[in-house]
Amino acid sequence: MLSLRTAARHHGVALRPDLPVHNLPLHRRLPSGTRPIQTATVKDADIARLAAKPLHPLTLADLCKNGRPPLSKQSLLSNANFTLSILPSRLAHRIQSLRSLPYIVVANPNVNKIHNNYVHSLSTLLPYAERKIETLEEEIKFTEAMADLVQTHSNTIAILAKGFLEARKYISKDEVTKFLDEHLRARIGTRLIAEQHIALHMSSKPHNDLSDQDQHKEDEDSSFIGVIDTELKPAALVRACENTVGEICELKYGVRPTVQIVGSPDATIAHIPMHIEYVLTELLKNSFRATIEAGMEKEAIEITIAPSPPPPEPAGKPSTSPEDLPIDPATNTPAAITTHDQGAVDAASSSPKPTASTSPNIRPLSHATPGVTIRIRDRGGGIDPSNLAKLWEYGFTTFNEDEIHDKTSGSGGGGMAGLDMLSGGAGQGSELAGLGYGLPLGRAYAEYFGESVGVGD
């Protein structure tokens, strides 16, 4: 039995594929004739200077401090400068961490490509790094740079997976897991910050030339704050992921299991659709595959959606106080986010480390809200006890060496698609088993804001 425990908090990472056109990625909506992205040469001194700044967990209050869109000009510029204040340092940390790997690993073409991508993204931010964004024209150019950053790193997971598989003779599994757990968690935050600003930009009134009044009215009525859905319905995501994985099953096996949702299917929370969508898809891929291979496809997979009880009212103040911390649904007590959760440990580089292990500043938009637990139960026979300790290793897979070779050589029919699902959404499809990144990466997404993924009987 697998379960996803999710706190109802206000944060986000990627745009939903079913959003209207005004929320499409910026590079698909900019006017034709846009000038090339401005860049500056990245010197080693720039990387050292920026990487010397310590990393800190990303707070939810920062992501939403400018309020619900459409934003005013002042709020939009404020958000752009907040984004600019933290992204260059984060990119420099990633470059330094990549350079700390064994040379023969960094020399791998795929790993080296990721290194060069980070250097390129930093080069697009350096022209802004020593000043503030003060005009809408500058903000538009900066948002173009954010769109370029998101596009440049859209397939990082697949490329790194291939690179580490090819270099697995030269680096231990423990070293790979340590590096990737930090690097990919940090990547979540980098994309989140960039995509949040892009989404706020696209839905703000100062840019009437990019969309019409009807679209702005739709923004005002939307439940989204940037990429954050404040009225997310987990049951709807379950059904969407069920359809995606079911189609894959029919292609591969000719059958698909059914899903029965019990508990509270009408429950809503404030969360990131793509966070939950990715984790649910990974869990359902494993559940569907095990169910079919055990010959139990006629038995429905049961998914329980159980909202947590409302948080207790703090003594001496109302429960809607903005000072309330997010609630951990496992214990119904205030939760904090660790630097490890967000890849801010930076163990791979020699730059200063944060002095605090948690961030006490994480706040919901207005008050602490209950979360939800999503439990998946099937008749697939469970996980082999000998594999339990390996579940969270990046690169642990049930595929044999021949199948791994097919995937790394490109002859496996697009086996990397599942790893790219973070960027493109569950609708792009993936295979039922991959290169061992699904569960550990799903856990990274769940834990990024203090949730969890658990395995039980």
Structural domain range at position 241 = 228-455
Say which CATH number the domain at 37 has. 1.20.140.20
Pick the range with the lowest mean pLDDT from 290-299, 347-356, 422-431, 432-441.
Answer: 422-431
Choose from 51-60, 80-89, 180-189 the range with maximum mean pLDDT.
80-89
Residue 3 lies in a domain: no
Q: What is the Cα 282 distance to its own chain's centre?
A: 14
Between 217 and 22, residue with greater pLDDT? 217
Q: Which of 174, 202, 225 is the last residue of a domain?
A: 225
pTM reported for the whole predicted model: 0.76
- Give yes or no for residue 9 having a pLDDT over 70: no
Q: What is the 3-state composition of the chain as percent helix, strand, coil, each rounded to the nearest 5?
A: 50, 10, 40
Rounded Cα–Cα distance for residues 418 and 171 (Å): 24
44/182 same-domain check: yes
Residues 6+ apart with CB under 8 A from 429: 244, 247, 248, 417, 418
What is the pLDDT at residue 371?
79
Residue 1 lies in a domain: no
Say which CATH number the domain at 317 has. 3.30.565.10
Strand locations in 178-256 (E): 224-225, 228-232
Mean predicted lDDT score pLDDT of the chain: 75
188/239 same-domain check: no
Between 397 and 148, residue with greater pLDDT? 148
Pick the range with the lowest mean pLDDT from 233-237, 245-249, 365-369.
Answer: 365-369
Phi, psi at 307, each rounded to 5°: -65, 145
Rounded Cα–Cα distance for residues 263 and 4 (Å): 14
Rounded Cα–Cα distance for residues 447 and 9 (Å): 13
442/417 same-domain check: yes
176/248 same-domain check: no
403/306 same-domain check: yes
Q: How many domains does the chain have?
A: 2
Question: What percent of the chain lies above the pLDDT cut of 70?
Answer: 66
Give the 3-state secondary structure of residue 130.
coil
